[in-house]
Amino acid sequence: MERKTVRGALAAIAAAAVLLTACGQPPADHEPVAVPAPVAVTTEPQPEPIESAVAEPTEEPAEAQEPQESPTPTEPPAEQKPTKQPAPQAGPAIMKQGDQSDRVKELQARLKQIGWFSARVTGYYGTTTRSSVAGFQAKRGLPSNGAVDQATWNKLTGMTRKPTAAELADEPPATAPPANNSAAGGARKAQGLDPRCMTGARVICVSKRSNKVWLVRDGVVAMTMDARFGTTEYRTREGTFSVQWKSRDHVSNLYHTSMPYALFFSGGQAVHFSPDFAANGYNGGSHGCVNLRDRAGAQALFNAARVGDKVVVYS
């Protein structure tokens, strides 16, 4: 009996211990044991590591605004007076009054080609030559002292051709005799005329070597003029042609240049007066035409020529 009582007491004590350690509601005859409320552990979020590169902006950058004009008005710059260009100075004289030489002969012959010297070609640099040089210089804006410097010589040689032996000797232009004359062959050779030029009522004879155009009537030279031809890019055709048509006041549809007194002989190539040739001499070239610089001569040739007349062009 006692043994049962002891066992019951031990069981009661064990049950009480279980109740004290359990998670349930404590029994009513005991004061509740204050169990501290569990502390919620909050872990603060760690900041993300910052990259060494520059972070991208979160917003779109504002559009760049155009610069505003300065509110302060700026005054216009003061008007500047044009600076007066100094007058060209003459260079050292390479020919002057009092000289006498073959080079002076060439000077006189070249001036004669363009109508600036009408006296005889003697090789002596006198007052007439000095006056001719001064007029040529004044016309071209060169110092007009009447002495030839390098600039004057370069301008003159650019506008003229090398004088022939006959020009340097001051001989009158030779006239070819009629074709039935026994001396005709020699005269043609001296004049530089092609034999094809010697037959026909009217022949326009063109020599590229001599820079000349002749109007030949029945084998006799009736007219002689200086001529200029096409450049290496636009060559003047050679051969025997005929005047295809005439145009007194022609203007080129291709190059829009004036071609007065044009005598067309091969397609668009013609013999005609050239204002550029008259102004600039041999310092240039045509687009294939035969240029004349004597306007009165070109007009006379135009009036004399007929459609169908022979045209001979040769070197």
- Give the other-Cβ count within 10 Å of 58's Cβ: 5
Predicted confidence band of residue 20 (pLDDT cuts 50, 70, 90): very low
- 297 contacts: CB under 8 Å, gap ≥ 6: 223, 225
- Looking at residue 232, its pLDDT comes to 80
- Cβ contact 269:259 at 8 Å: no
Structure tokens at 285: 């070239």
DSSP assignment string, 36-65: PPPPP--PPPPPPPPPSSPPPPSSPPPPPP
Task: Indicate the residue type of 14.
Answer: A
- Looking at residue 281, its pLDDT comes to 85
- Looking at residue 33, its pLDDT comes to 45
So where are the chain's domains?
A: 102-167, 176-314
Give pLDDT tens digits for 211-256: 999 999 998 999 999 999 988 888 999 999 999 999 999 888 777 7
Q: 0.85 cut: is pTM over it?
A: no
Residue 18: pLDDT above 90? Answer: no
Backbone angles phi, psi at 195, to 5 degrees: -55, -30
**Average pLDDT for 124-152:** 92
Of 102-111, 160-169, 249-258, give the range with the top mean pLDDT.
Answer: 102-111
Residue 129: pLDDT above 70? Answer: yes
Minimal CA–CA distance to 183: which of 198, 204, 166, 200?
A: 198
Give pLDDT tens digits for 46-88: 555 444 444 444 444 444 455 554 444 455 455 555 566 666 7
Predicted confidence band of residue 98 (pLDDT cuts 50, 70, 90): very high
Q: Domain 102-167: which topology?
A: Muramoyl-pentapeptide Carboxypeptidase; domain 1 (1.10.101)
pLDDT, averaged across the chain: 76
CATH code for the domain defined by 176-314: 2.40.440.10
